[in-house]
Amino acid sequence: MRVIFFSSQTYDRDSFLARPGVTDLELHFQPARLSLDTAPLAHRHEVICAFINDDLSAPVLEQLAAGGTRLIALRSAGYNHVDLDAAKHLGLCVVRVPAYSPHAVAEHAVALILALNRRLHRAYNRTREGDFSLHGLTGFDLVGKTVGVVGTGQIGATFARIMAGFGCQLLAYDPHPNPELLALGARYLSLPELLAQSRIISLHCPLTADTHHLVNRDTLAHLQPGAMLINTGRGGLVDTPALIDALKDGQLGYLGLDVYEEEAQVFFEDRSDLPLQDDVLARLLTFPNVIVTAHQAFLTHEALAAIAATTLDNISAWSAGTPQNQVGS
Ligand code: NAD
């Protein structure tokens, strides 16, 4: 069976080729992002293996189906970028990796909190320049601070456990409360209440029509002045220009982003020799109290191995006529 990987990086190739049994498949690793222009590369590949910034809109799915593709195997948990109605209509099966390492993402969210709070990004640059001064580097103790967790599924619950370990008070917002959070002493509140009472807010819900721009000008007005916002969920959960205004007037004190609404245009590529065309991202990067990472929260050895194992299992199960981890049907 011929499988083509879009948006593949060397770490994808390494993690898939390390799996036993992979020799039964003909794997083609393609660094290009899937789009209308690159879809012809999938011609005569029964399976395409796609990642989060690949274009899986109806016109692209139509091209894939016409070229002989029958299975879309996502290397991600999120599937907000797939037109599931079009896939169903075209008879394309869509499978995903529902969980690979909630620890990878939760620990990255904590890394952003610690780096922002203790200004590690600034301290790193200073000491390398021979500047050993401490002005402007004052942080705060995490113990006793209130942390709001938006979305308390696998990643949100893992994040909550870590923050409970720091001695933080937990607040939560999720239409489906998780007993694990209640056992940690978390209180479920409405979103405005959570935003008003939290010193740190971390987003771990999926991007849906309901959660699009969940953090916007109106909801930002509820924040405690100087609060910290961490987004490792999806870029579309926040209205980025509204975040910039909140940073400018101090309503938002710290911002850690691993995802960005327009990330498909820039993330996963070395663009350091090119002028940055995205003015919103360029403005974000000027703030000393903002850290942007390029969607790397998932990137641990353990998560990559789990993504490869589940994806190959998904392909085998589908080819045996018993699809697993299917979405949209
Ligand atoms: P999950 O399905 O286990 O949990 C999601 C939780 O969000 C569920 O409890 C659900 O009830 C809740 N939810 C749904 N709608 C909500 C709403 N309107 N408001 C608040 N909560 C809502 O998913 P997960 O594995 O914990 O992943 C969460 C998200 O993290 C994914 O959807 C994905 O977008 C993102 N993610 C990011 C990375 C990364 O590398 N940055 C990696 C993996 C996942």
pLDDT in tens, 285-328: 999 999 999 999 999 999 999 999 999 999 999 999 999 999 98
H or E element that contains 297: none
For residues 265 and 164, membership in a common domain is answered with yes
Query: Ligand 1 center to residue 44 CA distance, Å?
Result: 34
User: Which letter, b or e, does each residue of 291-318 get, where b requires 16 or more Cβ atoms within 10 Å of its Cβ?
Assistant: bbbebebbbbeebbbbbbbbbbbbbeeb
SS3 content of the chain, % helix, strand, coil (to 5): 35, 15, 45
Q: Which domain holds residue 77?
A: 2-100+300-327
**CATH number, domain containing residue 95:** 3.40.50.720
Nearest Cα to Cα of residue 76 among 328, 317, 325? 325
Query: Ligand 1 center to residue 153 CA distance, Å?
Result: 6
For residues 76 and 183, membership in a common domain is answered with no
State yes or no: is 234 an active-site residue.
Answer: yes
Nearest Cα to Cα of residue 8 among 27, 36, 43, 32? 32
Query: What 3-state class would DSSP assign to 236?
Result: helix
Q: Is the pTM value of this prediction over 0.85?
A: yes
Query: Ligand 1 center to residue 233 CA distance, Å?
Result: 7
pLDDT, residue 313, reads 95
Q: Verify whether ligand 1 is closer than 6 Å to residue 258 (CB atom).
A: yes
For residues 158 and 254, membership in a common domain is answered with yes
For residues 55 and 171, membership in a common domain is answered with no
* pLDDT tens track for 3-46: 999 999 999 999 999 988 777 789 999 999 999 999 999 999 99
Query: Ligand 1 center to residue 24 CA distance, Å?
Result: 34
For residues 259 and 206, membership in a common domain is answered with yes
pLDDT, residue 24, reads 77
Total number of domains in the chain: 2
Structure tokens at 287: 């703030």
Distance CA 11, CA 185 (A): 39
Q: Verify whether ligand 1 is closer than 6 Å to residue 241 (CB atom).
A: no
For residues 245 and 114, membership in a common domain is answered with yes
Distance CA 228, CA 188 (A): 19
For residues 127 and 253, membership in a common domain is answered with yes
Q: Verify whether ligand 1 is closer than 6 Å to residue 211 (CB atom).
A: yes
Catalytic residue among 263, 283, 301, 302: 263
For residues 65 and 126, membership in a common domain is answered with no
* pLDDT tens track for 164-210: 999 999 999 999 999 999 999 999 999 999 999 999 999 999 999 99
For residues 119 and 214, membership in a common domain is answered with yes
For residues 50 and 108, membership in a common domain is answered with no
Q: Verify whether ligand 1 is closer than 6 Å to residue 67 (CB atom).
A: no
- Residue having the nearest C-alpha atom to atom 31 of ligand 1: 206
Ligand 1 pocket: which of 174, 188, 230 to mutate (most atoms within 8 A of CB):
174
Ligand 1 pocket: which of 204, 291, 299 to mutate (most atoms within 8 A of CB):
204
- Does position 73 have pLDDT exceeding 80, yes or no? yes
DSSP structure class, residue 82 = B
Average pLDDT, the chain: 96
For residues 116 and 40, membership in a common domain is answered with no
Count of CB atoms within 10 A of residue 123's CB?
16
For residues 59 and 136, membership in a common domain is answered with no
pLDDT, residue 34, reads 97
